[in-house]
Structure formats: structure tokens, C-alpha cells
Amino acid sequence: MRTGDQIVQDLPWRWRVQGKIFLIGGLGYMFDAWDVALNGFLTPLIGAEFGLTPGQKGLVATANLIGMAVGAVAWGTVADRIGRKRAFSVTLLVFALFSVFGAFSPNIEIFLALRFLAGVGLGGCIPVDYAIVSEFSPRRHRGRVLSAMDGWWPVGTTLAGVSASALLPVHGNWRWMLVLMILPALLLFWARRNIPESPLYLVRKGREAEARLVIDDLVRRTGVAPQSYTIPAPVIQDARGGAAAAAFDQLRRVWAYNPRITAVAWSLFITVMLVYYAALSWMPSILKAQGFKEAAAFNSTALMNALGIVGVALAVLLVDKVGRKRIVAIAGPLAALTLVVFSLLLKTPTAAVVALGAFGLFSLVVIPVMYAYVSELYPTELRASGFGWASSSSRALTGFAPLLFGSVLWPVLGLPLTFTVLGTLVVAAVVFMMVAAPETRGRELDRIADSAGPGGAAQEPLTEPAPSTKTP
């Protein structure tokens, strides 16, 4: 007899059911993107208001990204310990409150502290949102759904660019840039209250009665005939200790589960996101240093972000046809290469902007597929924390990238060599992935290893069995 989690993963896709989870989860991810992209626009404005040196300007993005690193670990662990639903709602509320406070900062010290705290809230959105969306998604569509989740990222970064450009003439513009995000974030927090708990999470926790209620409701709402299923034995976890102990216990379990998979996940996150965040955090400042006027620098960065929407569309179209690993292996190095080309063409503004647009496109091909891939590699009881620790590892290191980029890399190495070094790291991570981690296309969550064919190749998903007339 089939299990409850298998039933969920073989349901047909319905926009009014799984699509609702995708939309609400994706909107939270959009705010993450908006906030991260805003760092690049805030940096020159904050620097001018508080009289910061180039090195100090890097702290604007660093404080926010380090907060996100802490949040990714903390909320990923919370989501795996107490449930996706609670963490799903609270992360966004924490972000909204501290962003409001940040808009009224009287000095740079308070501003940085509040940006860190806002990052703690927002840093939990990615691992928690990806976990809950993946666990509601049918496996036939999961790659496209998780890749499409990243479509919210360029929407958020584009909104950051458009709003920043529109508010440039306004007095106190950087404060209004922060305030502008708050109302929709609070409305989304209200909408998230009615999202059900993940059925896969309930199954793995042994909460059978609750799991059956959610599974039966999903079956009914998707229009599938009811069929009998079992609820497997729960996965036992040691829940003793405080929050810090729980987080580091999850870290131990993430590495104990499969060291090679975790090493691949961390290396991909660190290298790919290092390139992306360095460009995102400093691009308006780079363009201004090359003679672009402030409005032109902001608009060019917004164009880079907008072309990411095309990149996500390509990722969605290709992810289940080409496979996760191939897309990451091709698009990751290409994204890094376009930044090298951009840096070499800066004396020709039009060509440089074209190269910048290409970077926006290729980077948003690789990132959504990478996110989908890593979230699939871990079992349910480790999915949010496995993704969260990988995200946190990248945020912790890339959090210092804006600071190092502005004070060491750019001034000492120059842009072409800096982007070449970062691109070489991406290539090394991709080669490691190709030899050390499995393809996940078409496999059931929690059965990635079991459903691998000879040599670790992915088997195609099974055809949907004829529904039984028996009721659970």
C-alpha cells in the first residue's frame, strides 16, 4: 500500500490548491529579493548622508547579509523542529517590523543594527518557503515549480530598482525606500495565517491524525478519487537543548546524512552567490565610478534585474527537460564570464550594459535551478535546515563580500581580475557537483537514493496508478 507522502507527491497540479502555496510562498521570497537588492541602492545614499568611506559603505550590505545568514540557520532549524507553518508566518513579520524601525535610524550604528535584525527575519524566508512549497508540489512538476519560485526574485529586485529610481528626487529618499516595502509585507503576513502545515512534515513527525486531515483535504480539492494509504513510522529526533543546541544538532545531522551532498550544496551556494551578491551590492557604485550619472546607474542595475525574469522563465522551461546538474554546470560559469566581459567593456557604456543584462539573465537561470536542486537533495526532516545551513554558509561569506569588495578586491585587483577569480571558484564548484552529487529530476522526495538507477542516474517518475475506490 502506498504511503501518505507518496499520495501527496502524485496529485495533479491545481492552481487553487498547490498554486496558492506557490503564490504566497513566492511573494515572501520577492520581499527577500527586494531587500537584498535595495542594499546596492542604499549604499551610495547612506554613504553620502553619514559621510562613509568606501570601506564603510560595504557595511550597509554586510550587516543585512550577515543577519540573513543567522536567520537562515535559526529559522531553518525552527521549521524542522516545530513546523513550516509557524516559521512561514513569523519570518516576514520580524523583517517588516525592523525595516520600519530602520527607516527612522538617526545614525549609521543604529541603522546597521536594525538592518541586521531585519535580515534575521528575512533570512528565514528562503529555506522555509522552499521547504513548504516543495513538500506540497507534485513530483512531476516540482522542478518547474521550485525554479519558478525564483521568478519572484527578479520581480523583487526590479521593484527595488524601480522604486529607488522613482524616489531619488524625494528628500530622505533612502528612508522612504525602506518604508515602501512594509505595507505589502504585513498584508502577506496576514494571508499566510491560513496556509496548512506541510503534510510531509506531519508524516515524518508521526502526527498521523493531522497528516490525514491535510492529505485527505488535498485529495478532495484536487479532484482525485480517494485511495487507501499508510502513514509510515515517524523519524525520531533528539529535541533536547535550547535553540543554539538545536541549530548545531541540525548542522551535525546535515553533514552526517551525506557529507558529499552537503559539501556540494555549500560549495554551490557559496561560489554562485558570492558572484551574484558582489555584483548586486556594488553595481550602482561601480557604474557611478565609471562616469554613469546616478539615475543611469540605478536604471542600468534595474535593467539587469529585470532581465532575470527572462532567465527564470528559461530555467522553468528547461529544468525538467535538461536536468538540474546540466543547467547549473552551464549557466553558472556563463554568468561569471559575463561579469568579466562587462568589466572589460566599461569604457564602452552601451556594450557594458548589454553584458550586464546578460549577467542578469544567466545568473537567474542558475540560481533557481540550484535552489530547487539543493532543496531536493535532503530528506524532509532535514530539508529546511539543510537548505538553511547551505544558504547561511553563503550569506556568512558573501556577507563580508561587499566589505572586502569595496576595500580590497576592487581597489587592489581591479574589476576584471576580481571577477575572473570569482568565476574560477564557480567552475571548481560545478566540477565537484558533477562528480559528487546525484541528479534529482523526477525522483520522489525522501527517496532520492532509493530511486536512483544504475550509476546514480535518475529514473523517470512512475505513471500515476489508477485510483482506488477505497477511502482512508
- What tens digit of pLDDT does each residue of 320-336 get? 888 899 999 999 999 99
Structure confidence at residue 160 (pLDDT):
85
Listed ranges 80-94, 254-268, 382-396; the one with the highest mean pLDDT: 254-268
**In degrees rounded to 5, what are phi and psi of residue 41?**
-80, -30
Residue 471 binned pLDDT confidence (cut-offs 50, 70, 90):
very low
Structure confidence at residue 341 (pLDDT):
95
Domain boundaries, the chain: 4-234+243-456
Structure confidence at residue 290 (pLDDT):
83
Angle ∠(201,269,122) on CA atoms, nearest 5? 60
Mean pLDDT of 68-94: 75
Strand partners, 3: 230
C-alpha dist (Å) from residue 26 to 32, 68, 91, 376, 445 = 10, 17, 14, 17, 20
| Cβ 182 vs Cβ 96: under 8 Å | yes
- What tens digit of pLDDT does each residue of 160-195 get? 888 888 888 888 788 998 888 777 777 677 767 778
Structure-block grid coordinates of residue 241: 537543548
Beta-carbon contacts of 278 under 8 Å, excluding residues fewer than 6 positions away, are 398, 401, 402, 405, 418, 422
Structure confidence at residue 384 (pLDDT):
72
| Cβ 200 vs Cβ 135: under 8 Å | yes
- What tens digit of pLDDT does each residue of 13-22 get? 999 999 988 8
Alpha helices in 290-414 (DSSP H): 294-322, 324-344, 349-377, 380-404
| Cβ 132 vs Cβ 88: under 8 Å | yes
pLDDT > 90: percent of the chain: 25
Structure confidence at residue 47 (pLDDT):
87
| Cβ 269 vs Cβ 433: under 8 Å | no
Mean pLDDT of 408-413: 76
Separation between Cα atoms, residue 51 and residue 420, nearest integer Å? 32
- Exposed, middle or buried by CB within 10 Å (0-12, 13-18, 19+), for 348? exposed
Structure confidence at residue 88 (pLDDT):
67
Separation between Cα atoms, residue 377 and residue 380, nearest integer Å? 10
Residue 420 binned pLDDT confidence (cut-offs 50, 70, 90):
very high
Beta-carbon count within 10 A of 255 CB: 15
Structure-block grid coordinates of residue 384: 529546511
Average pLDDT along the chain: 82
pLDDT > 70: percent of the chain: 88
Residues in the chain: 472
Structure confidence at residue 360 (pLDDT):
93
Most distant CA pair in the chain: distance in Å? Answer: 72
Mean pLDDT of 289-303: 85
CATH 1.20.1250.20 fits 4-234+243-456, yes or no: yes
End-to-end CA distance of the chain: 11
